[in-house]
């Protein structure tokens, strides 16, 4: 445990050092960037699209439950997802998963199924991010294809059913569990939609600060997807803070000015957090109105 904790702090320290150095070297350029009236329209659009992305992936979570032979309404899944999403910024980066498992079990979903649903979701997101990244990048394509193949195998019903069987045994329920009959294509397509919406929000944020040519959109979205994926899987940073920013800066720094990229990723982080806070706020208002 001590070694794992040390590795997390080492990763976080390295990421923060990279970002601090990048800001130090380019702060004058960042300070000169201005947002026009049209730019503010793009930023508001980015906020709306990003909020829609979080609502959408909450709905996709209900499809994951359906894949696991559980009848869950999309409305319930969206509310539970938005209510817990902001908890990913708590140190440990697992509390949003814990919250979803708790809400699912409170809704009479077996703990084993609830746990598998929150384990399956990031795998589907990783597969979607790798698929999107392959469209616009040529760097490390072999590694991306290998990683994608590993993830696609990991979400095959043969593997998932073994996971269900193992969890049911740990819960002393024997083999009394429904098997997954189909590959989770529908949830995977849904998560592709989530990455598309998040990528669109990133492009709109970029557009607020600098004109974007049509042929630049694929590289922007694919680079965003890779940076977002690393923020998802690399330990040590709650909500991927720092990892996403450092990766996006490294991937796009050779194509655009570092000062511009630093400004874009900082603004997008703010927009992302605001969208998550708004999502949780909408659920709070909904629950208040229902009581």
DSSP characters over 19-47 = HHHHHHHHHHHHHH----HHHHHHHHHHH
* C-alpha span between 274 and 221 (Å, rounded): 21
Cα–Cα distance for residue pair 29/43, rounded to 1 Å: 20
pLDDT interval class at 1 (50, 70, 90): very low
CA distances from 70 to 49, 102, 131, 178, 239 (A): 29, 16, 27, 10, 28
Per the CB < 8 A criterion, the answer to whether 54 and 275 are in contact is yes
| Torsion over CA: 198, 204, 206, 211 (sign) | positive
pLDDT in tens, 43-75: 999 999 999 999 999 999 999 999 888 889 999
Give the gyration radius of the chain's Cα atoms: 20
Q: Which two tokens stand for residue 219?
A: 């590289």
- For residues 147 and 170, what is the distance between their CA atoms, to the nearest angstrom? 29
Per-residue pLDDT tens for 173-230?
555 556 777 899 999 999 999 999 999 999 999 999 989 998 899 999 999 999 999 8
**Least confident range of 86-90, 151-155, 263-267, 272-276:** 86-90
Mean pLDDT along residues 237-246: 74
CA atoms of 132 and 126, how far apart (whole Å): 10
Query: Mutual orientation of helices 185-209 and 258-290 as an angle, nearest 10°?
Result: 120
The DSSP code for 179 is: P
pTM as predicted: 0.85
Position 15 scores a pLDDT of 46
Does 133 or 18 have the greater pLDDT score?
Answer: 133
If you average pLDDT over every residue of the chain, what do you get?
82
Which of the four pLDDT bands, split at 50, 70 and 90, describes residue 125?
A: very high
* Range with the largest mean pLDDT of 7-11, 165-169, 231-235: 231-235
pLDDT digits (tens, 9 = 90+) for 258-286: 888 888 888 888 888 889 989 989 998 88
Counting residues of the chain whose pLDDT is more than 70, the rounded percentage is 79
Unique residue bearing structure tokens 């703010």: 270
Q: Exposed (0-12), middle (13-18) or buried (19+): which is 23, by Cβ within 10 Å?
A: middle
Report the distance separating Cα 54 and Cα 212, nearest Å: 25
In this structure, are residues 74 and 59 in contact, taking their beta carbons and an 8 Å threshold?
A: yes
Which is higher by pLDDT, 288 or 271? 271
What residues contact residue 25 under an 8 Å CB cut-off, 6+ apart? 258
Tell me what the mean pLDDT of segment 232-258 comes to.
Answer: 79
- For residue 72, give every residue at least 6 positions away whose Cβ sits within 8 Å of its Cβ, in sequence order, or none: 61, 62, 65, 66, 107, 109
pLDDT > 90: percent of the chain: 34
């Amino acid at each position: 445990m001590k070694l794992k904790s040390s590795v997390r702090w080492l990763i976080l320290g390295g990421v923060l050092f990279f970002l601090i150095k990048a800001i130090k070297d380019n702060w004058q350029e960042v300070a000169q960037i201005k947002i026009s009236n049209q730019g503010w329209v793009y930023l508001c659009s980015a906020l709306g699209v990003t909020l829609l992305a979080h609502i959408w992936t909450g709905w996709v979570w209900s499809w994951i439950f359906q894949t696991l032979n559980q009848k869950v309404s999309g409305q319930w899944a969206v509310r539970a997802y938005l209510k817990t999403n902001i908890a990913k910024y708590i140190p440990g980066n697992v509390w949003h998963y814990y919250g979803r498992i708790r809400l699912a079990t409170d809704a009479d979903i077996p703990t084993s199924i609830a746990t598998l649903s929150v384990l399956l979701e990031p795998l589907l997101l990783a597969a979607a991010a790798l698929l999107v990244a392959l469209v616009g990048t040529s760097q490390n394509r072999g590694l991306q294809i290998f990683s994608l193949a590993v993830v696609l195998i990991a979400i095959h019903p043969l593997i998932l059913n073994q996971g269900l069987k193992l969890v049911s045994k740990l819960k002393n329920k024997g083999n009394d569990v429904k098997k997954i009959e189909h590959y989770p294509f529908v949830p995977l397509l849904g998560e592709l939609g989530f990455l598309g919406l998040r990528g669109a929000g990133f492009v709109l944020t970029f557009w607020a600060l600098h004109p974007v040519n049509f042929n630049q959109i694929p590289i922007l979205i694919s680079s965003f997807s890779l940076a977002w994926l690393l923020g998802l899987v690399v330990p040590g940073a709650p909500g991927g803070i720092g990892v996403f920013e450092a990766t996006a800066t490294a991937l796009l720094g050779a194509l655009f000015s570092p000062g511009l990229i630093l400004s874009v990723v900082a603004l997008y982080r703010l927009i992302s957090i605001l969208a998550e806070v708004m999502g949780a706020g909408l659920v709070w208002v909904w629950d208040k109105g229902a009581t």
